[in-house]
Amino acid sequence: MSATLVTSSRQRIWAYPLGLARRSPTFAIGFCTVVFFLLLAIFANVIAPYNSTQIFSYDILRAPDAQFLFGSDGNGMDVLSRVIHGTRYAFGIAVPAGIIMLAIGLPLGVVAGYKGGMVDEILLRILDILRAFPTIILALAVVAAAGQSLISVVLVIGVLDSPIFARIVRAEVLALREATFVKAAIAIGNPPWRIMLIHILPNAILGATAQLPMRMAWAVRISATLAFIGVGIQAPAPEWGAMIRQGAEFVITGEWWVAVFPGLALMALVLGLNLLGDGLTDILDPRRRTTGK
């Protein structure tokens, strides 16, 4: 009897994730990819064979072999160890930047959608002005003025992408503010702040939730771009964009591994985050839930 209960409990534990994987294989692939890189970031000190800045002065530009699986770079540092530690910079930028995007975009979108009228117009125009600037150029200017630090890159990326979340939430709120449950909340005397925070926001956040992994992928890509062109985080920090920039000069002479391996890691994480976002869109789409597609 006890064995039957244990088997039943295990089946229930695996039933939900397996159900999600069947509903959206895209979500399953993206989720596994992101979790893999997240584990690398958490246990980088344990997994990496060497310190990310340890220099082997007699092994400069050494090709991949048994000691250096990904080879060594122009400074004699192990590329594999630097790629693994680079996951910390990727998540160290993507996660706080995503939080800033939500912290700015969600309240602006809720207020603009619920209040409407002049408030909506003013907020929309501010968002339009912010989005009108070319992203890379504005990021270059701000990071160059504020300094090439992790905090500067995170703040720039988070602020620049917040209008996307504001518009997504605003569109949801415009539909929800005419819903029966919102009118009922108004009728019983709830103040506007409570209606927006308690009744509307939880129902308007699904679209932003699905969009978040994609914008985190954008944050990783932009931070790597800034580092590649020499404005973002720079060596010796094991940031993938900076590593690709350093390795680009060696590709011509045949030392391809310096740039290729961090480039592949960057591509894999960005792809995983985008697949995760696409999968969340499939899962959270009410039409797909009702049709079972």
pLDDT tens for 49-87 read: 999 888 887 888 888 998 889 999 888 899 999 999 999
- Mean pLDDT in residue range 246-261: 89
First-residue to last-residue Cα distance in the chain: 37
Report the interhelical angle of 150-176 vs 117-132 (nearest 10°). 140
Q: What is the pLDDT of residues 180-238, one digit of tens each?
A: 888 888 888 888 888 888 888 888 888 788 889 999 999 998 888 888 887 777 777 88
Q: What is the rounded distance in angstroms from the CA atom of residue 36 to the CA atom of residue 14?
A: 19
Range with the poorest average pLDDT among 3-12, 29-38, 79-88, 132-141? 3-12
- Looking at mean pLDDT, say which of 10-14, 40-44, 157-161 comes out highest: 40-44
> In Å, how far are 6, 63, 115, 201 from 174, measured between CA atoms?
48, 58, 9, 12
Asked if residue 26 has pLDDT above 90, the reply is no
Tokens 């603009």, residue located: 112
- Nearest by Cα to 273 from 33, 12, 28, 58: 33
Q: What is the rounded distance in angstroms from the CA atom of residue 183 to the CA atom of residue 200?
A: 11
In the chain, the percentage of residues whose pLDDT exceeds 70 is: 88
Confidence of residue 41 (pLDDT cuts 50, 70, 90): very high
Paired tokens of 168: 């997504």
257 Cβ contact list (under 8 Å, min separation 6): 63, 64, 70, 71, 79, 247
Confidence of residue 161 (pLDDT cuts 50, 70, 90): confident
Name the residue type at position 28.
A
- Write out the CATH class of domain 24-291: mainly alpha
Pick 12 or 230 by higher pLDDT: 230
Confidence of residue 43 (pLDDT cuts 50, 70, 90): very high
Does the model's pTM come out above 0.95?
no
- Average pLDDT of the chain is 83
Asked if residue 143 has pLDDT above 80, the reply is no
